[in-house]
């Protein structure tokens, strides 16, 4: 679809700025292709604003991430918009829409990777993992050295929190 839109944009430019028969032919071909691919002519205008829905994934900070990306693409946002349960609707041009979607796809994957590292570092820093032997088979792959180094660096940057035992006994000491 992207190639069709690029071709149609070029034809539209030629139809608007061309001379004589070149202009007439470009307009005729443009109309024929718009009909063939069922494309709205206004969608070719990169400056036209469309009220577009951006869905965000379920997970930590996904709506915040999408909002930050929108602000990074459109820093002076003064357009009609709305935030809903699982999506944000906003007036954007076609190029802004493409940029927001591409940035969100990229950074949502990176956020998940970094949050996974953070959780591992947090759990280890605060001793929130099982210390005994496990009866289950561990099918997980061993971590590579680079990932371990990142976790250790994160752990060193985190505060260690001291939780005070709230109950008077420890498991295994019941009477």
Give the integer Cα–Cα distance in Å for 68 and 66: 5
Please list the residues that pair with 81 across neighbouring strands: 90
Calculate mean pLDDT across residues 35-40: 77
**Residue 24: is its pLDDT beyond 80?**
yes
Domain map (residue ranges) of the chain: 1-45
The string of pLDDT tens digits covering residues 58-86 is 888 998 999 999 999 987 766 555 566 78
Chain mean pLDDT for the chain:
81
**Residue 49: is its pLDDT beyond 60?**
yes
Q: How confident is the model at residue 100 (pLDDT cuts 50, 70, 90)?
A: very high
HSE, CB side, 13 Å, CA atoms: give it for residue 40: 7
* pLDDT at position 81: 58
Contact in structure between 31 and 41 (CB atoms under 8 Å): no
Residue pointed to by tokens 């590579």: 144
Q: In what order do the strands lie in the sheet with 87-92?
A: 50-55, 87-92, 81-83
Of 85, 108, 89, 107, the C-alpha closest to 97 is 89
How many other CB atoms sit within 10 Å of the CB of residue 94?
A: 19
**For residue 118, what are the contacts with CB-CB under 8 A and spacing of at least 6?**
154
Give the integer Cα–Cα distance in Å for 113 and 146: 13
* pLDDT at position 103: 93
* pLDDT at position 12: 79
């Amino acid at each position: 679809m992207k190639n069709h839109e690029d071709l149609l944009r070029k034809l539209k430019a030629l139809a608007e700025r061309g001379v004589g028969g070149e202009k007439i032919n470009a307009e005729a071909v443009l109309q024929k292709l718009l009909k063939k691919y069922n494309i709205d002519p206004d969608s070719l205008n990169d400056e036209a604003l469309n009220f577009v829905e951006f869905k965000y994934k379920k997970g930590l900070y996904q709506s915040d991430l999408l909002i930050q990306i929108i602000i990074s693409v459109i820093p002076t946002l003064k357009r009609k918009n709305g935030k809903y349960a699982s999506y944000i609707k906003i007036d954007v041009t076609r190029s802004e829409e493409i940029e927001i979607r591409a940035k969100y796809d990229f950074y949502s994957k990176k956020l998940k990777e970094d949050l996974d590292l953070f959780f591992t570092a947090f759990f280890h820093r605060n001793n929130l993992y099982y210390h005994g032997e496990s009866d289950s088979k561990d099918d997980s792959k061993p971590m590579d050295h680079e990932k371990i180094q990142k976790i250790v660096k994160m752990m060193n940057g985190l505060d260690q929190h001291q939780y005070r035992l709230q109950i008077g006994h420890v498991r295994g000491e019941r009477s």
